[in-house]
Structure 1
Amino acid sequence: MERIESKSNNFLKEVKKLKDKKHRTKSSSFLVEGLRFVKEAIESDFNVEALIISDKILDKFYDLGIDSIDLENTRVVNVSDEIFTTVCDTESPQGILAIVKNKALEISEENGFYVLADRIQDPGNMGTIIRTAHAAGALGVILTKGTVDIYNEKTLRSTMGSIFKVPIIEDNNLELTKSLRDNGFKLVTSTLETDNNFFDVNLKDNVIISVGNEGNGISDELKGLSDIAVKIPMPGNAESLNAAVAASIMVYEVVRQNMI
């Protein structure tokens, strides 16, 4: 384990840069914090480039057996508690942080369903959608251009580790979505501009469940690609549903139908 004593260390300066999206994009890396989250990263198929461990967490690091996991290709750095607070994002840090390399994931065209997030802006909503997709066994989560950065601290925490469990694919030009449709996947879009009851739709076929921007809903371009436009019934006459709630309702209707 390497010890760094200076706040001005070049490696630590590079770690701090990863708090900004432009540097995460440039380096294809992101940060995760906390014992549980870091352990999930190490045990995943993602490449953990480095671990930074503060003095106060050393005992737990060994107690949890993280040091016994294969870290041959991972740089392990120990710093003082004071230095650690300069590189982390949380107000009450647990004392461990990992630099994780983004993983390029291939799209699967096996039978099942995808969840498409169209310009979702709220990190909590996006994280919940990823977590729900993972729990429901989705083939992957598709992100359109304009969707919130999934590697910012708030989104990552909201996924509760599911970021490492379900493929997430950016589809900035919708070519992936179009390809899936060409291969038999039906695009289901939620909108208030239809009388089609969502619960009347057959979801046992291969489908892409899409949920739109919190304020503006599904984009016109996606509406143009839509195979099935549906509305979730709201007998209480609410104006709309939270985006993550709507996604969860739709995803678990897919699950329910396929369990019958």
Structure 2
Amino acid sequence: MQKEIITSAQNPRIKHLLLLQQKSSERRTCGLFVVEGQRELLHCINAGYEIATLYCCPDVAGENELEGFFASFPNGCRDIPCVNISKALYDKVAYRGGTEGVIAEIRTRCNTLEDLSLPENPLVIVLESVEKPGNLGAVLRSADAAKADAVIVCDPLTDLFNPNLIRSSIGAVFTVPTVACTSEDCISFLKQHDIQILTAQLQDSRLYYDTPMTQGTAIVMGTESTGLTSQWREAADAHIRIPMLGELDSLNVSVSAAILMFEAVRQRAL
């Protein structure tokens, strides 16, 4: 790998790296986003993304650990620009500690609904206008655990390459096919592929475990504050709810998504 050493936070490359972390507009304009951590980066390149620049800190990871990490790259990813940075500089640009001394700029690849290759009777998770990257990241982790076939984010209020989303998903945004689109396009796609639409809502709904999920199924969830729009409620084949036995009437969207996903897993295992 080509290597140079950077120690100053005033270096233009480091300033650009920070801008990519902080501003979605910069990510869109440059077609780049940032991935931090060895595990997340391996998931990213195994999903076919291309590294533009790799920043390494041997004082954090150690030369031997980094060499072992590089050896795990697919063959086509080993001849890439690599920059060494000091520990003091790494501490300034890293979002969190314990990320094994690697940060990378990655070339954006925007997947679409047409790129999804779904099996027979797929399990799809749909999120409408989820705003918090942490919630979306947590849903993606559950989707990976449940082996969901896709996550579709409709009318997103955060971009899929937000560093907080990547971090909270622990790289699941790369292991689960994930696309963003409008609700209208998503509804058309699901109906075209004969995938039943189950909307999670309190009104006019039945208990989730009384609802068959063994056929092609899309579990659709909205924000905690406003729920789903009427567009989704009207397009649904069934409305489902999780019983709330306490004083509150809702769960965090990521918790609800996990409960509903694993009910589908349970039914499909019978």
Alpha-carbon distance in 2 for matches of 1:205, 1:220: 24
Equivalent residues of 2:128, 2:183 under 8 A apart: no
State the match for 1:40 in structure 2: 43
1:159-213 CA distances to partner (integer Å, 9 max, x unpaired)? 1221211111101253133122122011110111124222111111111101110
Alpha-carbon distance in 1 for matches of 2:17, 2:44: 17
Alpha-carbon distance in 2 for matches of 1:173, 1:193: 20
Residue 117 (structure 1) shift: 0.9
Letter paired with 1:172: T
Question: Which of 205, 219, 223 is equivalent to 1:213?
Answer: 223
Alpha-carbon distance in 1 for matches of 2:259, 2:185: 26
Question: In percent, how many aligned pairs have the same letter?
Answer: 24
Letter paired with 2:149: L
Q: Specify the SS of the correspondent of 2:160.
A: coil
Alpha-carbon distance in 2 for matches of 1:125, 1:15: 25
1:42-72 CA distances to partner (integer Å, 9 max, x unpaired)? 4432212221012413425435342463334
State the match for 1:4 in structure 2: 5
Letter paired with 2:34: L
Gaps of 5+ in 1: none
Residue 106 (structure 2) pairs with residue 96 (structure 1) = no
* TM-score (structure 1 length as normaliser): 0.89
Counterparts in 2 of 1:199 and 1:85: CA distance versus 1, 3 Å = same
Question: Which of 183, 187, 199 is equivalent to 1:177?
Answer: 187
State the match for 2:82 in structure 1: 76
Alpha-carbon distance in 2 for matches of 1:257, 1:199: 9
* Aligned length in residues: 260
Counterparts in 2 of 1:258 and 1:44: CA distance versus 1, 3 Å = same
Alpha-carbon distance in 1 for matches of 2:150, 2:28: 21
State the match for 2:66 in structure 1: 62
Residue 37 (structure 1) shift: 2.3
Out of 49-58 and 185-194, give the one that drifted further: 49-58
Equivalent residues of 1:127, 1:150 under 8 A apart: no
Alpha-carbon distance in 2 for matches of 1:16, 1:63: 25
Matching of residues 1-260 of structure 1 within 5 Å: 1-5=2-6, 6-19=8-21, 20-56=23-59, 57-67=61-71, 69=73, 70=75, 71-90=77-96, 94-105=100-111, 106-111=115-120, 112-260=122-270
Alpha-carbon distance in 2 for matches of 1:9, 1:252: 48
Letter paired with 2:107: K
Gaps of 5+ in 2: none
Q: Specify the SS of the correspondent of 2:182.
A: coil
Letter paired with 1:37: E
Letter paired with 2:224: E
Residue 9 (structure 1) shift: 3.5
Alpha-carbon distance in 1 for matches of 2:252, 2:66: 42
Letter paired with 1:11: R
Alpha-carbon distance in 2 for matches of 1:161, 1:246: 21
1:92-128 CA distances to partner (integer Å, 9 max, x unpaired)? 7642101122333312343211100111122222111
Q: Specify the SS of the correspondent of 1:199.
A: helix
1:7-50 CA distances to partner (integer Å, 9 max, x unpaired)? 44433332222011111122232211123323333443221222
Q: Specify the SS of the correspondent of 2:206.
A: coil
- Alignment RMSD (CA, Å): 2.2
